[in-house]
Every structure is written in structure tokens, then in C-alpha cells.
Structure 1
Amino acid sequence: MKGVPCPACKKYAMNRVRLRWQCPFCHERSSDDHLPALFYLALLSENRITNKSAREFLGTDSPEVIKKLLQRAPVIRKGNNKGAYYKHVDLMKYL
């Protein structure tokens, strides 16, 4: 399932509101609930996350928001400009 799951009610998908993730059902708010979702995306994509794939998976339209989320996440950037992709550090020794 795509999106960021709510840690409180376990429903999908949280929305990005004012620098935080907010659940539309129980109104739980958090700033780092996207980290497990990025880990699952790395598992599904053979540890190759692009800005576009992260936008589609997390349900966010803004490339700038995803860029900032990826800069703060436990990922390593490979490549430059349009060819850039990210590898999750927890999966680098396995994939």
C-alpha cells in the first residue's frame, strides 16, 4: 500500500501538513513517520529510491519536500542531477 501509515490508528495515508505528517482520521501528528515508508520503498525498489518514486509512494506532489525528507533520512545519495538516486543505509550490505 502506498502512503505513510498512521502509527496510532494504523490507517493509510497521512497527509503532509506544515512540515509534519497528519492523520486525517485520528489527527495524530508526527514529523518522522515517513522513515519506515522509505525503508519499505527501498525494499521494494532493490534499494534504489528516486525523487519521483518517493513522491509517488509517499503521496506528495512537491519534489522540494521529498528532497528535504531524503536529505534528513538515513540514505546515501548516488549520482547527480536527474540521474540521482538514494540507497538506504540499512539495506546496503544486503542489496
Structure 2
Amino acid sequence: MKDIPVESLIILSNSSTIIETTSNPSYYDKITRSINIDNKIEQFKLKYPKEIFTKEELWPFAKALVTAHTPSDYDPLKYFKITQADLLKGVCCPSCSILPMIRLHGNWQCSVCMYNCKDAHIRALQDYKLLISDTITVREMCSFLGMSSRYSAYRLIRAMSLCHSGGTKGREYFL
């Protein structure tokens, strides 16, 4: 049996998180922000320079992890006790985070900072997938992105090459 070193680490993803403690400050080197994770990995590599497993030996572990993975049935709307009607809809500006952007001549344009982007809708559709459903219809896409033209929404779907199910009416696209 190989002796495998185990390290504990607390990674803070929110940059505004503040942790205060009255205990021993030696725990501070076990706490890091997500932006510093690469540095921590490098520190561990220096601390443990000798590889314990080869890539070939790790492969069965990796396969077992992928096989054992089961997606969560987490419903964020239910967890936070909100409805779809409570969600702010539209495409968020990647530059200034203002909502919503306006669709003009094949681009999304921010009415505040005037930033233009061709694919700003992709982030909004990722949010839709996480919050509402893995599938979307053209009508749902128009409503969620704040688009008035179903044809424009359909062109966006075609450009993303999304797989679909169903006939022409009520067709669902897989995000």
C-alpha cells in the first residue's frame, strides 16, 4: 500500500468573504481564495516532489469517479423559494453587468456602456439551463432573452447547432 499524503484546504470562491477566528492563526495557510489555487497547487508540488502514482495507475481511479458521478437534483428556484416570474430576464452585459442588452443587427448592444457582443446570449442560456430546464423552445427563448422576434431566436438556435426533439411546433432544443 502506498503512503498517500492528504492535505486539507479551504477555498473561498467569493472575493468579498471575510473569515475571522479567535483560534490559532496557523490555520490561515489552509485558507485561500479561488484566484490563488494555482499557487497552492505549486506549493504542494514543491512539498511533495515525488510522484506516487503514474498516469496509468491513476486511470482506473478516474474512470471509477466518472462512473460513480450522479448529477444533483438540486432545484435552485425551490431552494430559494422563488418562481420563474421572480427572475430578471434578458441578456446581461458582459462589460458592465446591466440587464437587459438589446438585439440590434445580429449583435447584442448594451444601452448603458454601448458594448457590442455577438454571443452574449450564451451566458443567459447557461443560466436558463441551471435555473429552469435543460431544454428550451423558441417561445421560451424569446421570453427569457427578451426578444420580440421568434425568427431571430430561431436563427440563434440554428447558429448554436443545438440538438432537438419533436416536430416543428413545440420543438425542444437541448442546451
TM interval, short-chain normalised: 0.7 to 0.9
Of 79-88 and 42-51, deviating more is 42-51
Q: Distance in 2 between matches of 1:51 and 1:44?
A: 17
What is the SS of the residue equivalent to 1:21? strand
The amino acid that maps onto 1:25 is: V
Count of residue correspondences: 88
State the structure with more CA Rg: 2
- Residue in 2 that maps onto 1:53: 140
Q: Please identify runs of 4+ aligned residues in structure 1 that moved more than 3 A.
A: none
- Residue in 2 that maps onto 1:92: none
CA shift for structure 1 position 32 = 0.5
What is the SS of the residue equivalent to 1:8? coil
Q: Distance in 2 between matches of 1:62 and 1:54?
A: 10
Q: Distance in 2 between matches of 1:43 and 1:37?
A: 10
- Residue in 2 that maps onto 1:75: 162
CA shift for structure 1 position 74 = 5.4
Which of 82, 85, 88 does residue 172 from structure 2 map onto?
A: 85
CA shift for structure 1 position 86 = 0.6
Q: Distance in 2 between matches of 1:85 and 1:6?
A: 26
Q: Distance in 2 between matches of 1:85 and 1:75?
A: 10
The structure with the largest strand share of the pair is 1
- Consecutive unaligned residues of structure 2, counting only runs of 5 or more, are 1-87
- 2:131 matched to 1:66? no
CA shift for structure 1 position 10 = 0.7
What is the SS of the residue equivalent to 1:46? coil
Q: 1:74 to 1:41 in 2, by over 3 A?
A: farther
- Residue in 2 that maps onto 1:91: none
What is the SS of the residue equivalent to 1:86? strand
The amino acid that maps onto 1:54 is: M
CA shift for structure 1 position 79 = 1.1
Q: Distance in 2 between matches of 1:42 and 1:86?
A: 11
- Residue in 2 that maps onto 1:24: 111
Q: Distance in 1 between matches of 2:140 and 2:164?
A: 14
CA shift for structure 1 position 46 = 2.2
- Consecutive unaligned residues of structure 1, counting only runs of 5 or more, are 89-95
Aligned-residue identity in percent: 33
